[in-house]
Amino acid sequence: MNDKVVVGIDFGGTKIKFGIIDQKGRILIEPLTLPTMSKRKANAIVKTMIGGIERTVQNAGLSIDQIEGIGIGSPGPLDLEKGIILEAPNLPTLHFFPLKQHLEAHFQKPVKINNDGNCFVLGEAWFGAAQNARIVCGLTLGTGCGCGIVMNGKIYEGATGTAAEIWCAPYLDSNVEAYGSAKSIRRIYKQRAGRETGAKTIFELALNGDEMAVKAWSEFGFHVGKIVAIMVNLLDPDIVVIGGSVSNAWEFFHETLIDTVNRNITKAPREHVQIEKSALGENGGLLGAAALLMSS
């Protein structure tokens, strides 16, 4: 990539976030956020995306000619080679939609699209907690559980483009996502306190010293630690980065998480691997999407 900037897009079922990013990972203007309104027709959603790109470029005082390309982090599953959204559950009208083709035809600029979990890890590898690391794994803990692997600055996609889709892997009586997402902490707290509430509220309760909430987060860290230990034993990474909305409660589960990892991996990685919270926060999706063009 030359010294031109790129458009990064964090594309979700609820909102679409747009930013202008340079090679150093600097977001040059305040990002623009527009509602997805995901039940609209595909062409209407794409029109919103095109308008958002044009407004973002204009707000930065630039022209499309000065943009190197467009990177998009999108919910999957995706056909990565063709840039097609497959049967993404939270984008129901965009199933089998050739998003890359539409945007390239409109802007005459290269478009890269990848899974939002992969983009999270790529952003951390290029600009965040995992800069200069050779092998990076990451988990996004939110409504679901996303995962990504970056090796030598590039996403490891696997033979079919579905590497790191560990959410559906079996774990205890269910799967990884059931124990590595917001639904897990809600379930644990309900079992302990006898009432149901959201992950954010459980975090606030822990901040206020609620014993049940603190213990629930510790148990949550144990399960995430088991999941991370499997990743470490399989891939022997330099660093594992933990992000997503649930990672806001990092202070209440990271000690149990790291202790569980260390008790379930071998000596060499125990002395080497780092386990860190995401450094990029809410702009990680934008930066990871931009890095798709920088890592190509």
% of the chain residues with pLDDT over 90: 89
pLDDT in tens, 221-274: 999 999 999 999 999 999 999 999 999 999 999 999 999 999 999 999 999 999
Tokens standing for residue 252: 């209440």
Cis peptide leading into 92, omega within 30 of 0?
no
Write down all domains in the chain, each with its CATH number in brackets: 5-120+283-294 (3.30.420.40), 132-278 (3.30.420.40)
Average pLDDT of the chain is: 95
Handedness of CA 254, 287, 285, 206 (dihedral sign): positive
pLDDT tens sequence across 47-76:
999 999 999 999 999 999 999 999 999 988
pLDDT at 1: 46
Cα 260 to the center of its chain, rounded Å: 23
**How many CA atoms within 13 Å lie on the side-chain side of 49?**
32
Mean pLDDT score, 27-31: 95
Decide if 91 contacts 85 (C-beta within 8 A).
Answer: yes
If you average pLDDT over residues 210-215, what whole number do you get?
A: 97
Model pTM? Answer: 0.93
Q: 137: left (phi > 0), else alpha (psi -120 to 50), else beta?
A: beta
pLDDT at position 3: 67
R_g of the chain, CA atoms, integer Å? 19
**Tens digits of residue pLDDT in 107-158:** 999 999 999 999 999 999 999 999 989 999 999 999 889 999 999 999 999 9
- Please determine, for residue 292, whether its predicted confidence score (pLDDT) is greater than 60: yes
- Measured CA to CA in angstroms, residue 191 lies from 186, 213, 220, 249 at distances of 9, 11, 12, 19
Looking at residue 220, its amino acid is F
